[in-house]
């Protein structure tokens, strides 16, 4: 994907939208020093160029009963395009998997999984991960506490 060329106003807009995605266009324009029309055009351009990928609400896992966060390191038996593509497709369909990264090192993939409790995680492993073809090893790392969790990019 081509990198988007940004100026100071674009960076200010993105900074404020990362802080509050529900900010009104009027307030955003006031914060960055533009007219509302110019600000709206810039936001639309940032969306069209893909710099803004979408908007969402940040939910509290604890309040919603999904407090257990597990980092799952998965190694495959074989490394060919069909086996990795199938794994990626299957894992992408699991709602418990919030993030999946193909990585280098001791594992082939790292998953970030959220579940309510240990028995739910046991079911997730047995009913979903262990049923996938080509799994060689699975290592689970349980988060004890969250130190930093952000989606804000440094601008």
Ranges of each domain in the chain: 8-48, 68-142
Same fold, 8-48 and 68-142: no
| Residue 109, token pair as written in the block | 């993939």
| Residue 34, token pair as written in the block | 């533009």
| pLDDT score, position 38 | 98
pLDDT tier for residue 1 given thresholds of 50, 70 and 90: low
Tokens 């955003």 correspond to what residue? 28
In sign, the C-alpha dihedral spanning 16, 17, 20, 25 is: positive
The 10s digit of each residue's pLDDT in 112-146 is: 999 999 999 999 999 999 999 999 999 999 999 99
Identify which of 58, 60, 45 has the alpha carbon closest to the alpha carbon of residue 4: 45
The answer to whether domain 68-142 has CATH 3.30.70.920 is yes
The 10s digit of each residue's pLDDT in 90-109 is: 999 999 999 999 999 999 99
The CATH number fitting domain 8-48, selected from 3.40.1210.10, 3.20.20.70, 1.10.287.110, 1.10.10.10: 1.10.10.10
In sign, the C-alpha dihedral spanning 39, 45, 49, 55 is: positive
pTM of the model: 0.87
């Amino acid at each position: 994907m081509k990198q988007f060329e940004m100026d100071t106003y674009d960076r200010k807009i993105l900074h404020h939208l990362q802080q509050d995605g529900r900010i009104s266009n009027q307030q955003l324009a006031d914060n960055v020093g533009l007219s509302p029309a110019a600000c709206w055009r810039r936001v639309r351009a940032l969306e069209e160029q893909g710099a803004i990928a979408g908007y969402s609400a940040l939910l509290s896992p604890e309040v919603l009963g999904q407090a257990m966060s597990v980092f799952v390191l998965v190694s495959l038996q074989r490394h060919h395009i069909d086996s990795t593509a199938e794994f990626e497709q299957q894992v992408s369909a699991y709602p418990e998997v919030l993030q999946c990264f193909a990585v280098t090192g001791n594992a082939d993939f790292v998953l970030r999984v959220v579940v309510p409790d240990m028995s739910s995680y046991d079911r997730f492993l047995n009913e979903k991960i262990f049923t996938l073809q080509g799994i060689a090893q699975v290592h689970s790392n349980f988060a004890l506490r969250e130190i930093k969790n952000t989606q804000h990019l440094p601008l």
